[in-house]
Structure 1
Amino acid sequence: MKKLALVLGSLLVVGTAASAKEVVPAPVVVPEKVVEIVEKPVIVYRDREVAPAWRPNGSVDIQYRWYGEAEKKTNQEDTDDDWAGDKRTNVGRLQGVSNINFTENQTLNIRYRGYNTLRSENSSNGSLDELRLRHFYNFGNLGTSKVNLTSRVEYKTKANDGGKFAEASLGFNFADYFFANDYFKVSDFTVRPLYAHGWSGHGDNSSYNRYGLNLESTYELPLGFSIELNLYGRYNRKLSDNRYSDGRKSDLNLGVEAYLYNTTNLYKNGSFGVDFTFEGGYDEYTIHRHKLVEKFKSTEKERASYELYALPALQVSYKPTDFVKLYAAAGAEYRNWALTANSEAKNWRWQPTAWAGMKVSF
């Protein structure tokens, strides 16, 4: 019995130990921390460049120009006023032109011209110093059309309390409606209604009103050529008791300007270049409704008069930086000054001229 009890006790101990090995404690669940990773999208423009933000910009162009004698003839020698007359001869002109784009739609143009004689008063003749201000505002296209609308306000005055001029106009540019290719392009085709008022001194004896309708156009051609064609329809009305020399107080006239321009590069090496330039045409051809009587004379002028000129020149330029350009040019102008009789052509004469300047962009 004791042996049986001992055997049963041993089996019980062995079974308890075996079952103890099979018992595994339950795992303790620890909550995990949630970590959010936010990735910012990276946009890479591979096909285009992002334009920089717009900023005010503009340019300043300072130029000095020399006008020689008209076929080596001074004003004093020109007793019949058919060669030199009262035109610019033996004179220098300092010109400053500044364009300021102070907003994306607004531009201010400032031009000053000052003249200085280079000889005695009897053999040198210039013009009155002049200041001109122009303000442009681009309204963009009209509705869904391709017509661009730009306003222009202009003020011009001359030295010694000379003639003053104020004008307001609207320009409707239809250039985008015209066909264009590599050989022909209409870069400007503007119809401009306007109102202007002119006067001199502080009185109203020489004041007048002008109502006009202009057509201003520019055409680009191959080989460096371009054409400018302008038509000016004008109705001038004298104010107060002031009248035209023939007694009328009003005058209706049409002005025509037609210019041909060309620039041909002859040599270029880096920032240095040599160009042949040409400009010429009618400057301008004017047709009046009535004949006008010359002041202090009894002879009548023709209803039409014109000035035709050609100016070939050789120009050199150098750009030390992308914002600075230096240039100089010399040439000779061949011109027929405005005629008393439209059928006459005896006033042709040539005049040497040269100019140099610097243009700075900012």
Structure 2
Amino acid sequence: MKGDTAVSDKILEVSDLEYSFDTYAGEVHAIRGVSFYVNRSESLAIVGESGCGKSVTVQSIMKLIPTPPGRFKRGKIIYCGSDITDYDDRQMEKLRGKEMSMIFQDPMTSLNPTMRVGRQISEGIRKHEKISTGEALARSVELLKEVGISDPERNVMRYPHMFSGGMRQRAMIAIALACNPKILFADEPTTSLDVTTQAQILEMMNHLKREFEMAIVLITHNLGIVARFAERISVMYAGKIVESGSTDDIFYSPRHPYTWGLLNSVPAVGKKRTEKLSTIKGTPPDLFMPPAGCGFYDRCDYRMKVCKENDPPAREIGEGHFASCWLLDNRAPGVTPYVAKRHTIESSGKGVM
């Protein structure tokens, strides 16, 4: 099974993380007990609908959310064996960029439009390493070349608006890799790109992961793009991780109804034109007033009374494969499990077993 690594090889471990936002309308319970880990040189994908808490999870780990309105409630964050849960801004500044970096969703709003791309790349290098401006600029040229931007000597002097969308995304990756971080958070790095550029960016990130031996946490709403990229997947819904396991576990033997819905929603190659694209009915719960039971209750075709009243515990189905669903209880009625369709897997980039 992919992703099987010794416990001592964990580079990041998050336990029971809870994070809220205090607003005029009340408290938004954005993260409600999230736990996951990432191994060294491993790719983990956190998948779920928009608003489920994926971005907040990684931003709270890097402490990028202003306080207020953000508020850490509980949990533990262990990085390379050290507890960084209570690190202040000064302590986190030593980690951000050098130890852990982040690629944000929209490079056009993340890059500074008034600064040349080369200066933005070299800024992080000079902050963490004692080198001259000229040396930092030379490193910036090498990084642009590394991420696949042609004529880097010329493009390093250009402004972000002079780049195409794919080039801006590559520039963002160059900034994130400037100091060879041990872990890279990629927040929807391909959302605004065309399909061809998406594939190029993901392939490049995989190559850089192997070259720099870093771990990658990919945040996305699209299960279709992670099959070739990730070794493990965590499925997130309404501020919680409802299922996690190896990529094979999630694609071939998912056990949570929400995961079934996501997989059925992936556009499939070879599907007849008359077939409608599957959707998940309803809307996510209001996190101003999170439900006492399963967050997926109102949208689930297999819901039971216990689902509404009690939050299901995470159950281990196989080695490293967990799901939180009352259907896994021995007393639950039998349900036909999801069976991966051949064309669905192929369209997602997986070979058929």
Q: TM-score, normalised by structure 2?
A: 0.24
The answer to which structure has the higher strand fraction is 1
Which of the pair has the greater relative contact order for Cα pairs under 8 Å at 6+ separation? Answer: 2
